[in-house]
């Protein structure tokens, strides 16, 4: 038996794996009984309730069968086992695809009678393709959704096609993060199981900071600090071209709101019936963003909101600081960068945006029980550990997310766990009252400000007018 772990998830997983392996290697033969539940409870330091849940999963997987009043008996192996296939969809440009494929391989090795077909869909209109597949009743059995995707599916009227999950079964407060589960809870129901998450954070290139004379212990208290450091780190060549930007942020849909949040700006009225972009603190936040680009010239301009380009500049040493997420930090793997996550900062208050990745089950899929089994595995200890060991995205399982022994300097920043200090200051776009379709329309209008064609005040007036009821 394995050494007993202090983490509940590890002890729970150990119990299942020990029984499964004993069956596979013949130590437990068909007709044998597992140890009694009270013995397993003591041996693995688990409650009787948790032991029953672990055994119930093994029953579901076909390893054992419950004999009422006697115990749990090893099932006879079928001479010809029918292989069943389920389909999992992910978006094709995901940095996590290699990890997902490894997780699928591990799942199939644990469940030889199940095969998982991976379907990749274009990132640009992922939810649009997903919606079409669901409408044609040819959708995947299991599919990745972000907190934005699931709200788009709500707009398409597809929420009822998603299997509901029971939040109370996960003991969220103890084993995960309530704010992460909140992102996938709509109409008071958990519509997808959280898989991973990330706050939008500032990161710095420590080498560029040192070369620019910035104190390595310097923190971003407010926007003045950010601007001061950005000015210090911006380098211009003799030909007038910028060799190095002090700061960089993409004007994509999940970045500029951070400054509004930090300035206590209000984008939507308290009654949620009209936009309030002309709120002085919203305009002030957007003016600060535009001034970074045109007045101070410390940040490049991306009028089309090019994703990943800020991370590319950072990885190549052309930007000393950027706004990014733990997910996009996967671009820095094996790049020999000296970099770190910066603590939460703000203007009128500290603030960070929170984004999430989840897994949903198609209620009309070919095999819902097997789909649920895959979701349980992907959000369990083994799969979540693979996710942490091979990438920067933060697993939803707290014991894995906060396990420093899984950190790899070739992959993770040394202060990876700073996300724990940032989470209390985090809010989602939905907390700010925005909706997916509105975000697209707002982003289209904001292009005029990012391109320097219109002033933020003019753009904000236009947005309020567009959405006036």
Q: What is residue 468's DSSP assignment?
A: -
According to the model, what pLDDT value does residue 210 have? Answer: 96
The residue count for the chain: 469
Q: What is residue 33's DSSP assignment?
A: B
Tell me the Ramachandran region of residue 380: left when phi exceeds 0, alpha when psi lies from -120 to 50, beta otherwise. beta
According to the model, what pLDDT value does residue 34 have? Answer: 92
Give the whole-angstrom CA distance, residue 45 versus residue 11: 7
Q: 23-26 long-range CB contacts below 8 Å, 24 or more apart?
A: 23/63, 23/64, 23/74
Give the whole-angstrom CA distance, residue 173 versus residue 42: 24
Greatest distance between any 2 Cα atoms in the chain: 85
pTM (two decimals)? 0.83
According to the model, what pLDDT value does residue 99 have? Answer: 95
| Residues spanned by the domain of 261 | 199-354+412-466
Residue 12 domain-assigned (yes or no) = yes
Domain boundary among 365, 390, 406: 406
> What are the Cα distances from residue 57, in Å, to 51, 66, 114?
10, 11, 15
Give the whole-angstrom CA distance, residue 100 versus residue 89: 10
Give the whole-angstrom CA distance, residue 240 versus residue 372: 58
| Count of C-beta atoms within a 10 Å radius of residue 81 | 10
Same domain, 262 and 136: no
Same domain, 104 and 169: yes
Torsion of CA 331, 334, 339, 341, to 10 degrees: 50
Same domain, 339 and 429: yes
Give the whole-angstrom CA distance, residue 185 versus residue 162: 12
Same domain, 397 and 454: no
Give the whole-angstrom CA distance, residue 180 versus residue 193: 10
Residue 3 domain-assigned (yes or no) = no
According to the model, what pLDDT value does residue 330 have? Answer: 92
Residue 1 domain-assigned (yes or no) = no
- 8 A C-beta contact, residue 320 and residue 233: yes
Same domain, 183 and 324: no
Residue 246 domain-assigned (yes or no) = yes
- The residue whose two tokens read 């391109």 is 451
Give the whole-angstrom CA distance, residue 158 versus residue 166: 19
Residue 27 domain-assigned (yes or no) = yes
According to the model, what pLDDT value does residue 238 have? Answer: 82
Angle separating helix axes 436-450 and 147-155, nearest 10 degrees: 120
- The residue whose two tokens read 């130590």 is 27
Same domain, 268 and 374: no
Q: What is residue 29's DSSP assignment?
A: -
Same domain, 191 and 221: no
Same domain, 93 and 159: yes
According to the model, what pLDDT value does residue 82 have? Answer: 63
Same domain, 128 and 269: no
Closest CA to 207 of 334, 328, 318: 318
Domain at 402, CATH number: 3.40.190.10
According to the model, what pLDDT value does residue 251 have? Answer: 76
According to the model, what pLDDT value does residue 68 have? Answer: 87
Give the whole-angstrom CA distance, residue 357 versus residue 148: 9
- 8 A C-beta contact, residue 90 and residue 118: yes
Could you give phi then psi for residue 170, rounded to 5 degrees?
Answer: -95, -5
Q: pLDDT tens, position by position, for the chain (469 residues)?
A: 333 444 677 788 888 888 988 887 788 888 899 999 999 999 988 888 888 888 988 888 888 999 888 889 998 866 445 689 999 999 998 989 999 999 999 999 889 889 999 999 998 889 999 999 999 888 899 999 999 999 999 999 999 999 999 887 777 888 999 999 999 999 899 999 999 999 999 999 999 999 999 999 998 999 999 999 999 999 988 888 899 999 998 876 689 999 999 999 999 998 878 999 999 999 999 999 999 999 999 999 764 555 688 899 999 999 999 999 999 999 898 788 899 999 999 999 999 999 999 999 999 888 899 999 999 999 999 999 999 999 999 999 999 999 999 999 999 998 999 999 999 999 999 999 988 888 889 989 999 999 999 999 999 999 999 988 5
Give the whole-angstrom CA distance, residue 378 versus residue 391: 15
- 8 A C-beta contact, residue 234 and residue 245: yes
Residue 2 domain-assigned (yes or no) = no
According to the model, what pLDDT value does residue 123 have? Answer: 85
According to the model, what pLDDT value does residue 302 have? Answer: 67
- 8 A C-beta contact, residue 59 and residue 72: yes
Which tokens belong to 306?
């090019």
**Beta partners for residue 362, in sequence order:** 162
Give the whole-angstrom CA distance, residue 179 versus residue 199: 11
Give the whole-angstrom CA distance, residue 319 versus residue 205: 8
Residue 390 domain-assigned (yes or no) = yes
Give the helix, strand, coil percentages of the chain, each rounded to 5.
45, 20, 40
Same domain, 166 and 289: no
Domain boundary among 52, 74, 96: 74
Domain boundary among 74, 104, 121: 74
Same domain, 461 and 339: yes
According to the model, what pLDDT value does residue 306 have? Answer: 56
Same domain, 278 and 416: yes
Residue 108 domain-assigned (yes or no) = yes
> What are the Cα distances from residue 453, in Å, to 293, 299, 464?
13, 17, 18
According to the model, what pLDDT value does residue 170 have? Answer: 75
Q: For 334, how many CA atoms within 13 A lie in the half-sphere containing its CB?
A: 2
Which tokens belong to 162?
């998603």
- Domains held by the chain: number: 3
């Amino acid at each position: 038996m394995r050494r007993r772990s202090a983490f509940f998830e590890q002890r729970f997983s150990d119990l299942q794996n020990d029984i499964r392996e004993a069956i596979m290697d013949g130590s437990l033969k068909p007709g044998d009984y597992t140890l009694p539940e009270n013995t397993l409870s003591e041996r693995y330091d688990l409650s009787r309730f948790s032991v029953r849940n672990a055994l119930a999963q093994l029953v579901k997987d076909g390893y054992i069968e419950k004999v009422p009043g006697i115990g749990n008996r090893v099932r006879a192996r079928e001479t010809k086992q029918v292989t069943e296939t389920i389909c999992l969809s992910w978006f094709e440009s995901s940095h996590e695809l290699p990890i997902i494929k490894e997780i699928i391989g591990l799942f199939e090795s644990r469940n030889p009678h199940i095969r998982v077909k991976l379907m990749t869909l274009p990132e640009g209109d992922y939810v649009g393709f997903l919606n079409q597949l669901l409408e044609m009743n040819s959708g995947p059995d299991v599919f990745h959704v972000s907190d934005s995707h699931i709200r788009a599916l709500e707009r398409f009227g597809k929420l009822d096609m998603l299997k509901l999950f029971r939040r109370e079964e996960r003991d969220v407060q103890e084993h995960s993060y309530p704010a992460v589960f909140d992102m996938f809870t709509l109409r008071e129901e958990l519509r997808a199981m959280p898989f991973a998450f990330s706050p939008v954070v500032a990161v710095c290139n420590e080498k560029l900071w040192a070369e620019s004379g910035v104190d390595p212990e310097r923190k971003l208290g407010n926007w003045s600090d950010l601007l001061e450091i950005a000015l210090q780190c911006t380098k211009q060549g003799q030909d007038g071209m910028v060799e190095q930007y002090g700061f960089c942020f993409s004007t994509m849909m999940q970045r500029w709101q951070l400054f509004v949040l930090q300035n206590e700006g209000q984008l939507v009225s308290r009654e949620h019936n009209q936009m309030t972009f002309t709120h002085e603190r919203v305009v002030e936040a957007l003016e600060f963003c535009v001034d970074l680009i045109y007045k101070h010239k410390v940040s490049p301009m991306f009028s089309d909101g090019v994703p990943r380009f800020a991370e590319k500049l950072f990885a190549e040493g052309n930007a000393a600081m950027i706004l990014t997420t733990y997910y996009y930090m996967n671009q820095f793997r094996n790049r020999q960068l000296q970099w770190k996550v910066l603590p939460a900062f703000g203007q009128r208050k500290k603030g960070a945006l929170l984004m999430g990745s989840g897994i949903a089950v198609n209620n009309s899929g070919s095999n819902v029980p097997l789909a649920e089994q895959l979701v349980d595995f992907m959000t369990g200890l083994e799969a979540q550990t693979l996710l942490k060991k091979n990438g920067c995205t933060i697993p939803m399982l707290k014991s894995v997310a906060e396990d420093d022994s899984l950190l790899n300097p070739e992959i993770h920043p040394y202060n990876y766990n700073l996300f724990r200090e940032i989470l209390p200051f985090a809010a989602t776009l939905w907390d700010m009252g925005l909706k997916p379709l509105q975000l697209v329309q707002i982003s289209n209008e904001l292009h005029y400000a990012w391109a320097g064609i219109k002033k933020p005040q003019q753009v904000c007036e236009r947005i309020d007018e567009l959405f006036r009821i």
